[in-house]
Amino acid sequence: MNQQWKIRTILVSCLLFLVSALWSQSNITTVGIQIKPIISGQLFNTGPQTIESGEVDFTIDPSNGYAFGMVIRKGLNDQFSIETGINYSKRNYDLTISIDSNNFEGNSDFSYVIYELPVLALIYVRLGERSYLNNAFGINLNFLPSDWQSFDTYFEHYSSRSYWVVPALQANVGFEYRTYESGFLYLGFSLHRPFSKITTAGVLYKEDNLQKETVYFDILGNYLTVDLRYFFHEDPERKRKRR
């Protein structure tokens, strides 16, 4: 509990610092909200992992999750911006344990809750009067508040985090439509790729409360998302307030 409290305090402090720094230049700052469904698949090492130990096959497969949070964008000029914010992400995984010799198959699942703090450089390509193509690239800090565990009668699972903060590369591409009075609408995609594994997941298979096989997975934490964003409208008077 103390460790989780420390992480939340650091996250809130970072966000307050970023908001105060950006809001001092409120004439070129936009604030928005976003939700990002996580897409499961085999691209960029986002697919399943399988380990065979004795007669037992263990598979961990990333499934659909989500992230949501706040986006703060500071415009430097008509082509470039700096983007940051804070996100809550829930990453879900399916666990399958199977034995061919007796046709046994057990299915379970577990989740990681991770907080994210991105800092991205953003470039715009204007497509029309109100439409833009956006490309962003930068660093996303993953804050892991704890280790995770799950269990059932036939298995025990424990995921041990590598570090409490794991940096990741993040790249975004998307389309933005800007209205005159109702804010900005954004639809895009993101690739999130940590520099190192986020956890080591140990899975123990047991029969009649006796340990049979144990395997360990390196969970990389890569994922793809669909990004849905809305940026709040800013009045022109505020943009001209300071020079």
CB within 8 Å of 34: residues ≥ 6 apart:
68, 69, 70, 71, 85, 87, 186, 227, 228, 229, 230
Average predicted confidence (pLDDT) for the chain? 85
Listing DSSP states for 132-184 in one string gives EEEEEEEEEEEE--S-EEEEETTEEEEEEES-SEEEEEEEEEEEEEE-SSS-E
* Helix, strand, or coil (residue 241): coil
Confidence band (pLDDT; 50, 70, 90) for 64?
A: confident
Of 24-33, 56-65, 118-127, 212-221, least confident by mean pLDDT is 24-33
Residue 179: pLDDT band with limits 50, 70, 90: confident
- On the question of pLDDT at 8 being above 80, the answer is no
- Look at residue 47 in the predicted model and tell me its pLDDT: 74
Task: Decide if pLDDT at 42 tops 50.
Answer: yes
pLDDT of residue 143 exceeding 90: yes
Q: Is the predicted pLDDT of residue 103 greater than 70, yes or no?
A: yes
- The yes-or-no verdict on residue 240 having pLDDT over 50 is no
Q: Which of 25, 10, 41, 52 minimizes the C-alpha distance to 214? A: 52
Q: What percent of the chain has pLDDT over 70?
A: 82
Which structural domains are found in the chain, ordered by start?
2-239 (2.40.160.20)
pLDDT tier at 59, thresholds 50, 70, 90: very high
- DSSP assignment letter at 47: S
Instruction: Give the pLDDT of residue 191.
Output: 92
Single out the residue of 33, 93, 35 nearest to residue 63, CA to CA.
93
Which residues lie closer than 8 Å to 166 by C-beta, 6 or more apart? 141, 142, 144, 194, 195, 196, 198, 221
Using DSSP bridges, classify how beta strands 184-194 and 165-178 pair: parallel, antiparallel or unpaired: antiparallel
CB burial class (10 A; 0-12, 13-18, 19+) of residue 236? exposed
Contact 29, 72 (CB under 8 A): yes
In which band, very low, low, confident or very high, does the pLDDT at 215 lie, cut at 50, 70 and 90?
very high
Q: How far apart are CA 230 and CA 164, in angstroms?
A: 30
Of 103-107, 131-135, 172-176, 237-241, the range with the lowest mean pLDDT is: 237-241
